[in-house]
Amino acid sequence: MNVIDAILTRNAQGKLGLPAPDKVALDKAFACALRAPDHQVLKPWRYLVIQGDALQKLAELYISASLAQEPDLAPEKIEKMRKMPFRAPMIVVAITSYKNDPKVPREEQLLSSGAGIQNFILALHDLGFTSMWRSGPLTENPGVKKGLGLSESEHISGFIYVGTPNSEPKKIVHPPLADFVADWN
């Protein structure tokens, strides 16, 4: 698949099953992530791969961290969190690791980290896998961040759910270019 086809056909899916990428495929996708444009080559990112039994641990972390913030959390919300990590056989936590640099503000580092995630999900698509970039309040939860080993200068930029779809892909809509692109002179 060429790059343009990969970009135009990538399609996020909410429910993913096996197979997940093996180590060879995953390493290739991470090599693509690490080629993101990166001012001053700060490499302001890192990734955690969560699969197998670790998905259960992630569910437990979500629940304990949420209860620490909100002890009266509704049982339905707890149940939802228990199931959340099992929407795919693999979750990649994309972490932006902000560096102190006089030339590169945090906004640029966040953009670079986002470009890395996009490279990653496009590469996975090329390798025959599907992903869904997710966020939500758990990305900001201090207990979740601590449990995943983030430092004070790190931020969860996405939970990337990875696997193979077991339902029909949604229809891809290509927005009219004229709504977003204009000539200026």
CB of 179 to ligand FMN, least distance (A): 16
| Site size toward ligand FMN, by CB under 6 A | 8
In the complex with ligand FMN, the residue whose CB is nearer, 9 or 52, is 9
Neighbouring C-alpha atoms within 13 Å toward the C-beta of 11: 16
Among 9, 69, 135, 153, binds ligand FMN (CB under 6 A): 135
CB of 13 to ligand FMN, least distance (A): 8
Among 12, 42, 110, 148, binds ligand FMN (CB under 6 A): 12
Longest dimension (CA), the chain: 58
Nearest 5°: the CA angle 50, 51, 53 is 110
CA distance 23 to 108: 30
Distances in whole angstroms, Cα of residue 84 to Cα of each of 50, 79, 115, 118: 13, 9, 25, 22
In the complex with ligand FMN, the residue whose CB is nearer, 49 or 115, is 115
In the complex with ligand FMN, the residue whose CB is nearer, 40 or 139, is 139
Among 11, 40, 97, 164, binds ligand FMN (CB under 6 A): 11
In the complex with ligand FMN, the residue whose CB is nearer, 25 or 132, is 132
Distances in whole angstroms, Cα of residue 156 to Cα of each of 36, 77, 128, 142, 144: 17, 21, 26, 11, 10
The answer to whether 49 and 120 have CB atoms below 8 angstroms apart is no
Distances in whole angstroms, Cα of residue 125 to Cα of each of 87, 99, 131: 18, 30, 8
Stretch that binds ligand FMN, among 39-47, 52-60, 63-71, 134-142 (CB under 6 A): 134-142
From the centroid of its chain, how far is CA 1?
22
Nearest CA to 161 among 44, 23, 13, 30?
13
* 139 forms part of the interface with ligand FMN (CB under 6 A): no
Stretch that binds ligand FMN, among 42-50, 79-87, 132-140, 144-152 (CB under 6 A): 132-140
Among 136, 140, 166, 167, binds ligand FMN (CB under 6 A): 136
* 153 forms part of the interface with ligand FMN (CB under 6 A): no
**Contacting residues toward ligand FMN, per CB under 6 A:** 11-12, 132-136, 158
